[in-house]
Structures are given as structure tokens and as C-alpha cells.
């Protein structure tokens, strides 16, 4: 498995150099260093196929993430498989994590397989955590809010960072998403297509 990942890291690096002049390479793509409490970060995936393990998720959270995988990501060439094992690209879990300021987050835990350096660091075994703290219920009230959040957090598992440009096309990657958009912009899709 390591030689394949070494090739992927080289391909990611080459993709960044080759596509550096395009609009899709600007702003909101690339892995980030782990920071915060709880620890969160953006990582690149090892390919466009996510093996997703839903570890004790509620039906509402699992349904929102599955909806995003089935509706927001196919335009970027993403496919996925449901797995029930410790061999996963992304594990989705939810629990009441308290008033920590985050509705959901993604990280690459110490036990994960990772390589490369930022902004081209990849992680196989990412954890997507959804905070079910009761004080944040207002952020999970509607199906649309959950779908938007699922789309957003999955973006971090493919290297998409927050979209901070208010003039950009609507996307679930916008940090403040008042319309609860639950899709990727063409800009986001281009990032994924140019880097995988």
C-alpha cells in the first residue's frame, strides 16, 4: 500500500504545480496543520473513492452524510462504499461533545495512515465527528441544515478548506452559510478534479 500512496503524493504535488495558474487552485484547497480543541484539520484523501464507516451514528446524521455523498459529490467524480470495519477512508461518528464551539469537525488521528506535507498531506482513516450537544440543536433542526453540514465536513476530507469569499458561487464550503447550501460550487469541483 505504501508505494501506491507515494505515487499519489507525487501526483498530488504534480497536480498543484500543473494547475497552479487556474482559478481552481486559488484560495480554499489543501491540507492544513492540526489545531484547536478539539483537534481539527483538512486532509487530502488517498483517491476519489471513500470507504465510509458509520460508527454509531444517529439516522439523521448518517442520512445527511449519505445524502451529501449521493447528491453533492458525484459531479466531482466521487464514489463511495459503506463499510463496517476498521479499514475506512472516513469514519463518521456523532455524540454530545459539549459546548466546544464546533458543530462538526474532521481530523486525522494518530492511528491513521498519512503522508506528504502540507498543503499536500493525505490521510487514510480520517474521523468526521458531529457534535450532538443539546445546546447546538438549533443548528441541526432541519434536514437542509444537516445536509449542508454533511456536504461541508466531507469537503474537508477531500482537501477543501472554508470558502471565505462572499462573492463566490454558493457552496456548502462557505464558512457562514446562511442559505444552508448543500452542494459544491464549480470552483470546489474544479479543485477536486485538478488534484485527484
User: What ranges do the domains of the chain cover?
Assistant: 2-195
pTM of the model as a whole: 0.85
- Detail the DSSP E strand segments found in the chain: 49-55, 79-83, 90-95, 104-107, 113-115, 122-124, 126-131
Give pLDDT tens digits for 2-46. Answer: 333 333 333 323 332 222 333 444 579 999 999 999 999 999 999
- Assign domain 2-195 to a CATH class: alpha beta
What is the rounded distance in angstroms from the CA atom of residue 13 to the CA atom of residue 97? 36
Cell matching residue 189: 469541483
**Peptide bond preceding 38: is omega within 30 degrees of 0, i.e. cis?**
yes
Q: How many residues does the chain have?
A: 196
Position 30 scores a pLDDT of: 97
State phi, psi for 13 to the nearest 5 degrees.
-65, -45
Position 66 scores a pLDDT of: 98
What is the rounded distance in angstroms from the CA atom of residue 53 to the CA atom of residue 48? 16
What is the rounded distance in angstroms from the CA atom of residue 28 to the CA atom of residue 188? 8
Give pLDDT tens digits for 62-115. Answer: 999 999 999 999 999 999 999 999 999 999 999 999 999 999 999 999 999 999
Amino acid at each position: 500500500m505504501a508505494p501506491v500512496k507515494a505515487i499519489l503524493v507525487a501526483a498530488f504535488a504534480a497536480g498543484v504545480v500543473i494547475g497552479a495558474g487556474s482559478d481552481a487552485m486559488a484560495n480554499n484547497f489543501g491540507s492544513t496543520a492540526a489545531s484547536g480543541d478539539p483537534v481539527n484539520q483538512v486532509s487530502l484523501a488517498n483517491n476519489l473513492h471513500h470507504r465510509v464507516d458509520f460508527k454509531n451514528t444517529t439516522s439523521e446524521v448518517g442520512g445527511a452524510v449519505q445524502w451529501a455523498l449521493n447528491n453533492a459529490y458525484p459531479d466531482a467524480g466521487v464514489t463511495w462504499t459503506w463499510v463496517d470495519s476498521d479499514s475506512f477512508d472516513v469514519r463518521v461518528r456523532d455524540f454530545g461533545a459539549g459546548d466546544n464551539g464546533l458543530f462538526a469537525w474532521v481530523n486525522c488521528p494518530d492511528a491513521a495512515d498519512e503522508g506528504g506535507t502540507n498543503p499536500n498531506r493525505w490521510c487514510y482513516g480520517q474521523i468526521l465527528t458531529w457534535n450532538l450537544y443539546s445546546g447546538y440543536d438549533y443548528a441541526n433542526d432541519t434536514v437542509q441544515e444537516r445536509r449542508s453540514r454533511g456536504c461541508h465536513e466531507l469537503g474537508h476530507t477531500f482537501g477543501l478548506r472554508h470558502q471565505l469569499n462572499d462573492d463566490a458561487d454558493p457552496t456548502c464550503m462557505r464558512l457562514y452559510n446562511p442559505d444552508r447550501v448543500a452542494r459544491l460550487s464549480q470552483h470546489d469541483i474544479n479543485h477536486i478534479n485538478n488534484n485527484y
